[in-house]
Chain A
């Protein structure tokens, strides 16, 4: 792979290859854009089949973080890291400490966090070598399990969509079909139930649907039947790629608003939703609660403050809808545009010289 060609395509700042023989570490840290602040993004550990696959993945994910943080109103840039290795076999204290040391070499330009294949315990090892890590285990000033924050933000975003479509932000009396009620979906169901919404749920794990039925009076449907439920809101809270040519024609909702990552299989599926008159709330905007919550650790975690910031997802979603109408574009594009406009605008403010923020020399 030509690294510079890939960097040029989406304007990456820096891609850092880190190697430590003794610890068996092969890690890549990608920093996409730091206009808004240090690049925050998780560390993924994965047995990539090839180096190119790892480079491709870390670049894609880092760029996603730029958009997510910018759309969330955070003062953070986008970055991501990957360790090439098998999380079940190749983990060790030395491995994560070696990685932590490399994070420290970037002087705070990249801040790492837990992601696929890594755990709070791994972050603890990283924390032994660097200040620039979030999501360490409890007792280290951690924000803890991010699911409640993500669910709270998703609920707020859903209300903004309801305001647009039904003229009221109250979801009371509406039917919400939730796909996946294990973690975030469960917390989301609680908020909706408390507000008086009717719930239809599905999950591949029977225990969690039973729990939702018992606690929230949710109607349980078959995994595949969730797409056919007549409802106001469909909330994908499990897999990625669930909005695709096979499912979109079946949807009987007015709004798609859930916390799953990468809900659209392709951009065409976003266009298909628009054509059907369904309001799609872009995933990375509505599911940013976990990111906002963990980012609060950088100021010394305060749960009240963090949740107040997460509530701002309501306004972020409203703004995406406004841009979509302003420019006549689908919401998934409007979300990108909102992020890009913010980066552009805030970037311009950097032109004003501040003597207190001493640069070099």
Chain B
């Protein structure tokens, strides 16, 4: 829901070699590689909980990241995953202007078989043990309702079911943020943010894509959609005036903007030559199969809106649950994804680097600047200081 972050995917020989070397590394070697602050192995015999909580960086505030439940083949795999994901959260939070650091938890287990009240209570106890340094919620393999069990023992949860104080479905905020991100791209490429008359190829009209479609049409864009789900397509064609193409044909649509809102890794060797757009901007996670595909888009003069920046609306929404959720504030901050992207484009031009790398640079600069604060205060105030709920 508010998870993932940047893609670090496999595939090439080099990456496979890196993966092989990872196996030989100790835990501190892995932490040192990307300067993770803290990794906690948590075990509970009675519930069978085996969980790793990784805290990557808390320069901006308490570490925020979902809890993923997955039947990893080994402890190593679980550790590598939680380290990668927690780091991704540092960048995602940092890029969206949130005052939260990066963290993540994994539960080593089968979500179809191993869930229980006791398991999530045990997890909640370990979350509480961090005393607010780590805040979690649902991710792959877990649902909001699982965390109602954890709520008995910890305050440090987000994205609970609405009746339990959560902010509810975040797809609207995500779609709203993606829309504003697309406008920033249009401003960059066409000189004005308006999407009136622009052609958009929309891949995926699920929760986020469907709502995004509405925003685009409202602004006067021409939209071509695709989806592997018939139900999603029917709902969309019933509500909106859009063109529909086969799932694989979406890459060939002549358009201004290609907007991926479904699968990951769709920007790859096979698809890039087919793209007939000036902009790639959508809400999907891990859009680049590998970093080099971001380089290739840059070389071809296609403006890429880094995924973890443009799709941060869901994350922004849950960060606004503190101290009391405000939808208005969440939507305002999601709209500010426009400004984040404009800043990234400026850094990309300044340093002559692809946008996906400029996004990292922007975050790293922000972290460095924030960390350089040297004025002593007795206790932090403001949004950076308190995550206590009222």
Contacts and interface: CB of A to CB of B under 8 A. Distances in A.
Interface of A: 2-5, 7-8, 11-21, 26, 50-52, 84, 102, 105-107, 109, 359-361
A60 to B, nearest CB: 16
A82 B298 CA distance: 48
Given A4-B50, A16-B39, A106-B129, 17 more contacts: A3-B27, A4-B43, A8-B43, A11-B43, A13-B42, A13-B43, A14-B40, A14-B41, A14-B42, A16-B40, A17-B27, A19-B28, A19-B31, A51-B26, A51-B28, A102-B38, A360-B155
Contact of A359 (B28, B40, B42, B152): B152
A109 B129 contact: yes
Given A26-B28, A360-B128, A360-B155, A4 B37 contact: no
28 contacts: A3-B27, A3-B41, A4-B41, A4-B43, A4-B50, A14-B42, A14-B126, A16-B39, A16-B41, A17-B38, A18-B37, A18-B38, A19-B32, A19-B35, A19-B36, A20-B37, A21-B32, A51-B26, A52-B26, A102-B38, A105-B130, A105-B133, A106-B130, A107-B129, A360-B152, A360-B154, A361-B154, A361-B155
B322 to A, nearest CB: 15
A55 to B, nearest CB: 8
Contacts of B129: 14, 106-107, 109
> A interface, by DSSP: helix, strand, loop or mixed?
mixed
Contacts of B41: 3-4, 7, 14-17
Given A19-B31, A51-B28, A105-B133, A14 B154 contact: no
Task: Give the 4 A-B residue pairs with the shortest CB-CB distance, closest first.
Answer: A107-B131, A51-B26, A7-B43, A19-B31
Nearest to B58: A105
Nearest to B129: A109
A107 B41 CA distance: 17
Nearest to A108: B131
B45 interface: yes
Nearest to A107: B131
B151 interface: yes
Interface in B24-77: 26-28, 31-32, 35-45, 50, 75
B172 interface: no
A100 B155 CA distance: 25
Contacts of B28: 17, 19, 26, 51, 84
Contacts of B108: 4
Interface of B: 26-28, 31-32, 35-45, 50, 75, 108, 124, 126, 128-131, 133, 151-155
Contact of B152 (A18, A50, A361): A361
Contacts of A5: 75
Contacts of B131: 105-107
B75 A4 contact: yes
Contacts of B151: 360-361
A5 B43 CA distance: 10
Nearest to B74: A2
A21 B130 contact: no
Contacts of B130: 105-107
A157 to B, nearest CB: 32
B1 to A, nearest CB: 21
Contacts of A11: 43, 45
A164 B126 CA distance: 45
A109 B40 CA distance: 13
Give the one of A4, A16, A17 with max B CB within 10 A. A17
Contact of B31 (A4, A17, A106, A360): A17
Give the one of A15, A84, A361 with max B CB within 10 A. A361
A23 to B, nearest CB: 12
Contacts of B39: 16-17
Give the one of A19, A20, A50 with max B CB within 10 A. A19
Contacts of A8: 43, 45
A5 to B, nearest CB: 8
A361 B45 CA distance: 25
Contact of A19 (B38, B43, B75, B153): B38
Contacts of B152: 359-361
A7 B42 CA distance: 9
A105 B40 CA distance: 11
A51 B26 CA distance: 7
Given A21-B32, A361-B155, A2 B37 contact: no
A3 B154 CA distance: 25
Contacts of B153: 359-361
Contacts of A26: 28
